[in-house]
């Protein structure tokens, strides 16, 4: 079987990239021939197929840059030519799409489908339902575009509060509408039951949606032994942005006698540093994977205070594989991962609920090796591979 894996970036930028690169290794180990297609970018990892990657576009800079990036959304700026070239050279049986909006384009899904190639699409966010990806706006959680007109993205200026960006998002959503995307896709993979439910609420055919929880890279869990000697701190791993609820976390933990380590960067970093000044909170920035693993493995708790519909957070999955209990918001796909035996859930956006949950979880006698053993079994790459190959053969 020849599988072409597609993602807009090809380096460890976020969960979608980590998943796509892990998928490449998984399929190679299963005996498949693989190729990758992405956008040219300075930070990309080396690839034998990088010469086929689509030319880089950027939404930053002047009008010319923005115009070129906008044309990419509709399938321009060289993406069709680049994708045709790799289809001709590699001749895949299956194209497995991941995050492709904006920097690539859904046009490439239609291109593969027209050639009679099987198309599979893993859903890492809510872009097929919400023009702003996240189902949130300035008011908080918003599902208007799932059940109503996509024009709501303009009405509520959901794209960074910008009218121009929101109009662009609306045009993109109308151009790449549900009927068009569904017709071009043989199978959608939803990493959580929550995501699958939202897709069906948005009118997508339930028969095309397959729920398959993400896996953990074998390299991550090799020689794994859950730490039983836990250090007196909590840890957060992720982007420092509004939807992640880090400001709520800082408010909640400030009155508790526990240290907090924040791993990651983002647009709110300066604001959050000011908010945390004088408190027992350490900003560690962006760290190499092995350093992240070390901090999480030693932590008493991992905290994920999200205020948006998390899908299937890798930070929780990896923490559980390390035996680290989780305090997380009861929102999106998170409750599918966190149970009384491995953590505590709290009301999303509620500072007092989070504070009480941290305090309660800190005092619980968690079985770290058991948390790890169950998670390693649940998120086993072999299980994922077998289920994925079944989907490929549909």
DSSP letters, 218-275, are HHHHTT----SS--SEEEEES--SGGGTHHHHHHHHTTSS-EEEEE---TTHHHHHHH
Q: Residue 209: helix, strand or coil by DSSP?
A: strand
Is the pLDDT at 176 greater than 70? The verdict is yes
Pair 77, 71: CB distance under 8 Å: yes
121: which residues sit within 8 A by CB, 6+ positions away? Answer: 96, 97, 98, 109, 185, 187, 188, 189
Is the pLDDT at 218 greater than 90? The verdict is no
Which pLDDT value is given to residue 137?
86
Is the pLDDT at 167 greater than 70? The verdict is yes
pLDDT category at 383 given cuts 50, 70, 90 is very high
Contacts by residues 335-338 (CB-CB < 8 Å, ≥ 24 positions apart): 336/192, 336/193, 336/194, 336/213, 336/312, 337/312, 337/313
Which pLDDT value is given to residue 240?
96
Q: What φ, ψ does residue 149 adopt, rounded to 5°? A: -80, 140
Is the pLDDT at 147 greater than 90? The verdict is no
Which pLDDT value is given to residue 139?
84
Is the pLDDT at 99 greater than 90? The verdict is yes
State mean pLDDT over 213-226.
75
pLDDT category at 159 given cuts 50, 70, 90 is confident
Q: Which residue has the tokens 């899908």?
A: 311
Distance, in Å, from the CA atom of 12 to the CA atom of 36, rounded to the nearest integer, reads 15
State mean pLDDT over 251-262.
96
State mean pLDDT over 283-312.
94
Instruction: Name the pTM for this structure.
Output: 0.93
Which pLDDT value is given to residue 286?
92
pLDDT category at 363 given cuts 50, 70, 90 is very high
State mean pLDDT over 95-124.
96
**Lowest-pLDDT choice from 76-90, 153-167, 177-191, 232-246:** 153-167
pLDDT digits (tens, 9 = 90+) for 34-86: 999 999 999 999 999 999 999 998 877 777 777 887 888 888 889 999 999 99
Which pLDDT value is given to residue 224?
61
pLDDT category at 222 given cuts 50, 70, 90 is low
pLDDT category at 221 given cuts 50, 70, 90 is low
State mean pLDDT over 360-385.
94
State mean pLDDT over 176-181.
94
pLDDT category at 289 given cuts 50, 70, 90 is confident
Pair 185, 209: CB distance under 8 Å: no
**Lowest-pLDDT choice from 16-20, 82-86, 136-140, 273-277:** 136-140
Pair 201, 190: CB distance under 8 Å: no
Which pLDDT value is given to residue 148?
82
State mean pLDDT over 269-281.
95
Count Cα atoms within 13 angstroms, Cβ side, for 372. Answer: 17
Which pLDDT value is given to residue 331?
97
Q: Residue 356: helix, strand or coil by DSSP?
A: helix
């Amino acid at each position: 079987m020849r599988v072409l894996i597609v993602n807009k970036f090809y380096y460890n930028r976020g969960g979608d990239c980590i998943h796509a690169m892990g998928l490449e290794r998984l399929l190679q180990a299963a005996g498949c021939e693989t190729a990758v297609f992405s956008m040219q970018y300075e930070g990309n990892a080396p690839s034998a197929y990088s010469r086929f990657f689509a030319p880089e576009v950027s939404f930053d800079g002047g009008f010319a840059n923005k115009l070129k990036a906008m044309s990419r959304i509709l399938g321009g700026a060289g993406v069709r030519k680049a994708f045709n070239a790799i289809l001709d050279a590699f001749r895949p049986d299956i194209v497995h799409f991941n995050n492709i909006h904006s920097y690539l384009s859904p046009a490439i899904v239609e291109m593969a489908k027209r050639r009679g190639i099987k198309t599979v699409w893993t859903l890492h966010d809510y872009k097929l339902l919400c023009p702003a990806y996240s189902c949130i706006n300035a008011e908080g959680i918003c599902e208007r575009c799932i059940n109503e007109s996509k024009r709501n993205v303009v009405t509520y200026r959901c794209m960074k509060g910008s009218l121009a960006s929101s109009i662009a998002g609306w045009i993109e959503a109308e151009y790449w509408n549900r009927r068009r995307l569904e017709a071009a896709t043989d199978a959608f993979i939803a990493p959580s039951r929550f995501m699958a439910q939202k897709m069906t609420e948005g009118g997508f055919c339930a028969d095309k949606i397959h729920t398959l929880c993400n896996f953990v890279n074998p390299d991550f869990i090799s020689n794994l032994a859950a730490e039983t000697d836990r250090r007196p701190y909590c840890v957060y791993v992720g982007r420092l942005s509004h939807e992640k609820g880090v400001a709520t976390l800082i408010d909640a933990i400030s009155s508790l006698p526990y240290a907090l380590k924040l791993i990651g960067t983002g647009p709110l970093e300066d604001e959050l540093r000011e908010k945390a000044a004088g408190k027992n909170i350490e900003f560690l920035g962006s760290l190499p994977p092995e350093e992240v693993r070390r901090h999480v493995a030693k932590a008493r708790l991992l905290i994920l205070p999200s205020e948006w519909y998390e899908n299937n957070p890798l930070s929780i999955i990896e923490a559980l594989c390390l035996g680290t209990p989780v305090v997380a918001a009861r929102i999106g796909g998170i409750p599918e991962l966190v149970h009384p035996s491995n953590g505590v859930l709290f009301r999303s956006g509620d500072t007092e609920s989070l504070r009480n949950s941290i305090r309660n979880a800190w005092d619980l006698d968690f079985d770290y090796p058991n948390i790890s053993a169950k998670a390693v079994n649940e998120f086993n790459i072999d299980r994922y591979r077998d289920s994925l190959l079944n989907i490929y053969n549909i």
